[in-house]
Amino acid sequence: MTTATTSHNKLSATTVWIMAIATGLSVANLYYNQPLLADLQADFGVTVKEIGVIPTLTQVGYALGMLFLVPLGDMFERRRLIVITSMLVTGALLLAAASHTLWMMTVASLLIGLFTMVPQLIIPFAAHLADDKSRGKVIGIIMSGLLIGILLSRTLAGFVGSIFGWRAVFYFAAGLMVVLAGCLTFVLPKSEVTFTGSYGKLLKSIWTLIKEEPTLRESAVVGAMIFGVFSSIWATLIFLLSEPHFGYGAKEVGLFGLLGAAGAMAAPVVGRVADKKGPRTGVAIGLAVLAFSVLILWFSGASLWGLIAGIFILDFGIQATHISNQTRVFALRADARSRLNTVYMFSYFMGGALGSLLGSYAWGLGKWNGVCVVLTVGTLISLFAFWMGRKRA
């Protein structure tokens, strides 16, 4: 059984920015282990293949959390749920810090991914609290926090780990989560419960939403494809830059990650466009920019500046599409925003996993041209899904 929300709480600018910071600090938990893998391998005395299970299980845990925990945001009071998951991930981070075997670390990594739900609880919560005229702007600001958290997490982990050791990174992250939980307890407003029923019925209602909301299905397909395009690039960029005509390595690829700041800068701007012109317009602009970037990347296999320009523009297009997509999705049903977010973000995440797989496979077949075929196909599918949605509307 669901109950509709009849009024919106007003969000202060301070609350929005605190939510953005909380989202960035929380999502960083997923990426701290990546620059520490060499240290973990040496400490545990395992192979590269064995240590690779750690980031994989972190992402698997995140996918499971999105599917089975994020919908609880409609069933329970959100502020309390956010604080509880913050404390649970604190425990998982402490387990990681105390790990002395690969087995302990893999369990901790899975739990870190599973309980890093604060970003996916805060985003629909903010959309719920915002009014219709500012929802895109609010989502854009919070997404900028998310993007900066992803961007800086690896840098922070590498810096702290190189000075104090890898365990200090996880102890530091756990301390941040405790402070964050205390802060959010006092800052976040209470929310209404919008679903009353059993957990089984809550999960079943997700499939009902998929069947009844064509805009949700369209946005999920578009989101999956654009993140697949993004992931294809980053799964293969190291291979391109290590080619003889570039001769770069992992350090230079890391510097390319700074281009992700483009997405962080674009997020609030695109959110305002979605508020003024409508989110469909934002999606159209984002997909057009994405298509243009793929065209640039086709001809940039031997040009460093072409790659820089192409990736910068691609990131802008993807974030424009993603934020506008989320604005559309959250506007569908006020009583089901956490479940709507589950459908969209799970599809987005699965699209990214598929993109990484296909990108690597395409590189083996045709190198950069093969990767660009994957980028083109993903972009065309997203454009077709959007066009079909426009035709239906």
Q: Average pLDDT by consecutive 10-residue portion of the chain (393 residues)? A: 46 90 94 86 86 85 92 94 97 97 95 94 91 84 85 82 92 97 94 90 94 94 93 79 75 64 65 76 92 93 88 87 90 91 90 84 90 95 91 63
Name the β-bridge partners of 195: 2
Q: Is 74 left (phi over 0), alpha (psi -120 to 50) or beta?
A: alpha
Please state the φ and ψ torsions of residue 324, each to the nearest 5 degrees: -65, -40
Task: Assess whether 131 and 260 both reside in one domain.
Answer: no
* End residue of a domain, out of 193, 220, 239: 193
**CATH number of domain containing 272:** 1.20.1250.20
Could you tell me if residue 38 is inside a domain? yes
Which domain covers residue 104, as residue numbers? 13-193
Task: Assess whether 153 and 253 both reside in one domain.
Answer: no
Task: Assess whether 147 and 254 both reside in one domain.
Answer: no
Residue type, 281: T
Could you tell me if residue 2 is inside a domain? no
* Burial class, 10, CB count within 10 angstroms (exposed 0-12 / middle 13-18 / buried 19+): exposed
Could you tell me if residue 62 is inside a domain? yes
pLDDT number for residue 134 = 84
Query: What single string gives the DSSP state of each residue in 318-369?
Result: HHHHHHHHHHHHHTT-TT-HHHHHHHHHHHHHHHHHHHHHHHHHHHHHHHHH
d(CA 387, CA 375): 18
pLDDT number for residue 254 = 60
Could you tell me if residue 3 is inside a domain? no
Task: Assess whether 243 and 266 both reside in one domain.
Answer: yes
SS3 142: helix
- Four-point Cα dihedral 295, 287, 239, 262, nearest 10: 110
The residues, ordered by sequence, that sit 6+ positions from 200 with a Cβ below 8 Å of its Cβ are: none
Could you tell me if residue 199 is inside a domain? no
pLDDT number for residue 251 = 58
Residue type, 177: M
d(CA 87, CA 182): 10
Torsion sign (Cα): 230, 235, 240, 246: positive
Task: Assess whether 186 and 290 both reside in one domain.
Answer: no
Task: Assess whether 224 and 134 both reside in one domain.
Answer: no
Task: Assess whether 45 and 130 both reside in one domain.
Answer: yes
- The 10 Å Cβ neighbour count of residue 244 is 5
Task: Assess whether 269 and 292 both reside in one domain.
Answer: yes
Please state the φ and ψ torsions of residue 195, each to the nearest 5 degrees: -135, 125
d(CA 79, CA 193): 11
pLDDT number for residue 4 = 41
Task: Assess whether 210 and 147 both reside in one domain.
Answer: no
H/E stretch holding 5 reads none
pLDDT number for residue 176 = 96
Could you tell me if residue 384 is inside a domain? yes
Could you tell me if residue 8 is inside a domain? no
d(CA 314, CA 393): 27
Nearest to 343 by CA among 67, 84, 149, 27: 67
d(CA 146, CA 374): 26
The residues, ordered by sequence, that sit 6+ positions from 6 with a Cβ below 8 Å of its Cβ are: none
Q: Pinpoint the alpha helices (H) of the chain.
A: 13-27, 37-44, 48-51, 53-68, 78-97, 102-115, 118-129, 135-164, 166-187, 199-212, 214-241, 250-256, 261-277, 279-298, 304-330, 337-392
pLDDT number for residue 236 = 80
Could you tell me if residue 4 is inside a domain? no
pLDDT number for residue 7 = 39
Structure tokens at 246: 């570039």
Structure tokens at 392: 């239906």
* End residue of a domain, out of 172, 193, 214: 193
Please state the φ and ψ torsions of residue 375, each to the nearest 5 degrees: -60, -45
Task: Assess whether 215 and 348 both reside in one domain.
Answer: yes
Nearest to 2 by CA among 325, 353, 327, 339: 339
Task: Assess whether 55 and 180 both reside in one domain.
Answer: yes
Task: Assess whether 124 and 169 both reside in one domain.
Answer: yes
Structure tokens at 329: 């999705």
How many domains is the chain partitioned into structurally? 2
* End residue of a domain, out of 193, 214, 246: 193
